[in-house]
Amino acid sequence: MVWVGQVYFYVCAAIAVLAALATVASRNPIRGAMGLLLMIVAVAGLFLGLDAQFLAAVQLIVYAGAVVVLFLFVIMMLGPSAVPPRDRRGVVGRTIGGLLFASTVLAGLVLLAGRLRFVPSRDLDTGFGSVSAFGHALFSDALVPFELSSALLLVAILGALAVARGRQGEAAPVLPSGQPGLAAPSATPAPLSGASTTGQGGSRA
């Protein structure tokens, strides 16, 4: 039954790589988001193959359930026709950056493969990768980094609130009248027809 695990790993890895390439190469933002979702699901499958159930659940809940949904909301706000322009500016820089990134990844993979040959295999515990084992490690050995990360998130939230509160006194921007359904606010409100008729009648009287 060892070959079943190997086939499962290669299938999930191939799906993850193809979905990542589709995410990067797709010009349609909706297709890119769907490729990202497929890659996240494939990575969660890899975590399951490594007996890391907690990481697989977090991968699906946080990334597939929150990040991809946020991307889809942004795409819906921009519209389905939000396609980047096909220009040739910066092609040389992007090509050089892509080649450097690919060469770095390949060099890292070669070094990692060379190190894995000399790593001795060991038997894992029965509850390795489970939620209970992760919680025990989180609140025993990794308690201080966990509390520091929570304090960092709290400071970030307070900083965002302070920045948002400091901008409340600024003048609101005037919306352009050229957009459909939006009109610039007029300086003086137009008088009502009834009030103007009454005023004219009173003046005539």
CATH code, domain carrying 12 = 1.20.120.1200
- 21 assigned to some structural domain: yes
- 35 assigned to some structural domain: yes
Q: Is residue 62's pLDDT more than 60?
A: yes
Which structure tokens are listed for 20?
């990542």
**Mean pLDDT score of the chain:** 76
Decide: pTM greater than 0.75.
no
What is the rounded distance in angstroms from the CA atom of residue 85 to the CA atom of residue 3?
47
- 167 assigned to some structural domain: no
**pLDDT tens profile 4-16:** 888 898 999 999 9
Q: Higher-confidence residue: 182 or 123?
A: 123
- 39 assigned to some structural domain: yes
- 145 assigned to some structural domain: yes
Compute CA distances 69 → 30, 36, 41, 122, 188, whole Å: 11, 11, 14, 40, 43
199 contacts 192 by C-beta, under 8 angstroms: no
Q: What is the reported pLDDT for 17?
A: 92
Pick from 12-21, 69-78, 95-104, 164-173: least confident: 164-173
Same domain membership, residue 135 and residue 77: no
Which structure tokens are listed for 64?
């597939």
Same domain membership, residue 77 and residue 132: no
Domain count, the chain: 2
Q: What is the reported pLDDT for 100?
A: 92
Which structure tokens are listed for 186?
């007029």
Same domain membership, residue 136 and residue 77: no
Which structure tokens are listed for 98?
């892509």
Q: Structural domain of residue 133, as residue ranges?
A: 127-162
**pLDDT tens profile 75-132:** 777 765 555 556 667 778 888 888 998 899 898 888 887 776 666 666 766 767 677 8
Compute the average pLDDT of residues 154-173: 73
